[in-house]
């Protein structure tokens, strides 16, 4: 294990350390039940003759087995969120940050939910901006840490810039931190960079977030993943809502991931090919000033009169993300890589502006 200043018990909130988790009816019984009369469910069935009258598995055992095989991670190091990665973000604040006392570090421009969730939990956010080429300033991040810094958020590949951070800069932050360091890998499937999953054994304070919303195309399912030491995952399981993922999502995800896992790789290849086709087409637009390097399924594009271009595209029924008011993203639009047909429509309309 690498040198670490991290001691889990030192950063847990006292009330979380001592809390007795809610015990569901399903927690109290292990085995095969012939008759379920323990959870006050409707024993007669579901309205509409559906098979949904029983509560779902509170720990998603079957789905975690499937995810474990795909990711090569032990089940006890996996947490699955029923509200995407956002659920994990909120639970990490709940577990480690004392409201009104502790703080977190964010590196703007980055994913907005780190800051929103901090506000919801009354946790101060220290901002350490990225460089102008959207790289992590490791020394400044470390200098911003104090005794109350419980979480440092690192999004790589980053949203909205699309680039991956220098790996050694990230490692420097992880080693120096006494709190947890969360690496959000929502876009890792589109990157040539290696995931940090294989480094979890080295760093007890490392947490990795991933999602099924992007490369897997399951955004509607809101299925997020958190990977960490079994000790951290145990804390998260202790404080999560009792049934945090519905049974329909669990069943559907098990089927899709078991039968069609290879299709994800096909999607990634198509998206990357379209991304490489879209870049030179955008470069032909006279008003486009810069297209930033991307390891994601989107491009950050600096363009003249970006806000007006955005409003024009909206009127044409084409929706991109206006990032003009985001730090370091002035006059920028964030454009998701679409299908060939969608990208062609985008280019045609940009030429008309």
By the 10 Å C-beta count (0-12 exposed, 13-18 middle, 19+ buried), 203 is classed as buried
Q: What is the mean pLDDT of residues 174-182?
A: 97
pLDDT in tens, 37-49: 888 899 998 998 7
Task: Report whether pLDDT(28) > 80.
Answer: no
Of the pLDDT bands very low, low, confident and very high (cuts 50, 70, 90), residue 1 is: very low
Task: Report whether pLDDT(4) > 70.
Answer: no
pLDDT in tens, 73-121: 999 999 999 999 999 999 999 999 999 999 999 999 999 999 999 999 9
Q: Check residue 176 and give its pLDDT.
A: 97
The CATH architecture annotation of domain 262-352 reads Alpha-Beta Complex (3.90)
Task: Report whether pLDDT(332) > 90.
Answer: yes
Q: What is the mean pLDDT of residues 196-219?
A: 97
How far is residue 164 from each of residues 183, 187, 193, 194, 292, measured CA to CA in Å? Answer: 11, 9, 7, 10, 12
Task: Tokens for 275, please give them.
Answer: 């991304």
Give the whole-angstrom CA distance, residue 299 versus residue 211: 19
Question: Where in the chain are all domains bearing CATH 3.90.1150.10?
Answer: 262-352
Task: Just give the CATH number of 8-259.
Answer: 3.40.640.10
pLDDT in tens, 305-317: 999 999 999 999 9
- Are 309 and 303 a contacting pair, CB within 8 Å? yes
pLDDT in tens, 126-166: 999 999 999 999 999 999 999 999 999 999 999 999 999 99
Query: What length does the chain have?
Result: 353
Task: Report whether pLDDT(25) > 80.
Answer: no
Average pLDDT in the chain:
95
Which strands make up the sheet holding 78-84, listed edge to edge? 78-84, 224-227, 206-211, 180-184, 149-155, 103-106, 124-127
Q: Which helix (H) or strand (E) holds 93?
A: helix 85-96
Q: Which helix (H) or strand (E) holds 345?
A: helix 340-352
How far is residue 187 from each of residues 17, 38, 284, 302, 340, measured CA to CA in Å? Answer: 33, 42, 27, 21, 20
Buried b / exposed e along 83-103 (16+ C-beta atoms within 10 A)? ebbbbbbbbbbbbbbbeeebb
Question: Where in the chain are all domains bearing CATH 3.40.640.10?
Answer: 8-259
């Amino acid at each position: 294990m690498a040198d670490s200043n991290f001691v889990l018990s030192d950063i847990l909130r006292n009330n979380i350390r001592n809390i007795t988790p809610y015990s569901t009816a399903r927690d109290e019984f292990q085995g095969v039940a012939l008759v379920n009369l323990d959870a006050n469910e409707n024993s007669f069935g579901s309205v509409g003759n559906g098979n949904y009258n029983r509560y779902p598995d509170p720990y998603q055992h079957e789905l975690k087995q499937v995810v474990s095989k795909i990711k090569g991670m032990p089940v006890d190091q996996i947490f699955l969120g029923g509200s995407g990665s956002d659920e994990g973000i909120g639970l990490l604040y709940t577990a480690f940050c004392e409201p009104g006392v502790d703080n977190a570090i964010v590196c703007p421009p980055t994913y907005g939910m780190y800051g929103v969730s901090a506000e919801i939990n009354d946790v101060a956010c220290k901002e350490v901006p990225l460089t102008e080429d959207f790289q992590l300033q490791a020394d400044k991040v470390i200098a911003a840490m104090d005794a109350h810094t419980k979480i440092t958020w690192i999004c790589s590949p980053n949203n909205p810039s699309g680039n991956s951070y220098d790996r050694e800069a990230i490692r420097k932050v992880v080693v120096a931190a006494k709190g947890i360091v969360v690496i959000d890998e929502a876009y890792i499937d589109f990157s040539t960079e290696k995931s940090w999953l294989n480094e979890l054994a080295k760093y007890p304070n490392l947490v990795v977030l991933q999602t099924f919303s992007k490369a897997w195309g399951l955004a509607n399912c809101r299925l997020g993943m958190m990977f960490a030491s079994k000790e951290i995952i145990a804390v998260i399981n202790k404080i999560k809502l009792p049934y945090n993922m519905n049974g329909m999502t669990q069943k559907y995800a098990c089927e899709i991931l078991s039968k069609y896992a290879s299709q994800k790789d096909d999607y990634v290849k198509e998206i990357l090919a379209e991304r490489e086709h879209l870049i030179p087409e955008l470069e032909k637009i006279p008003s486009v000033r810069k297209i930033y390097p991307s390891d994601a399924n989107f491009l950050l594009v600096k363009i003249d009169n970006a806000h007006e271009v955005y409003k024009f595209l909206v009127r044409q029924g084409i929706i991109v993300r206006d990032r003009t008011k985001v730090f370091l993203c002035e006059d920028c639009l964030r454009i998701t890589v679409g299908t060939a047909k969608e990208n062609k429509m985008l280019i045609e309309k940009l030429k008309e502006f």
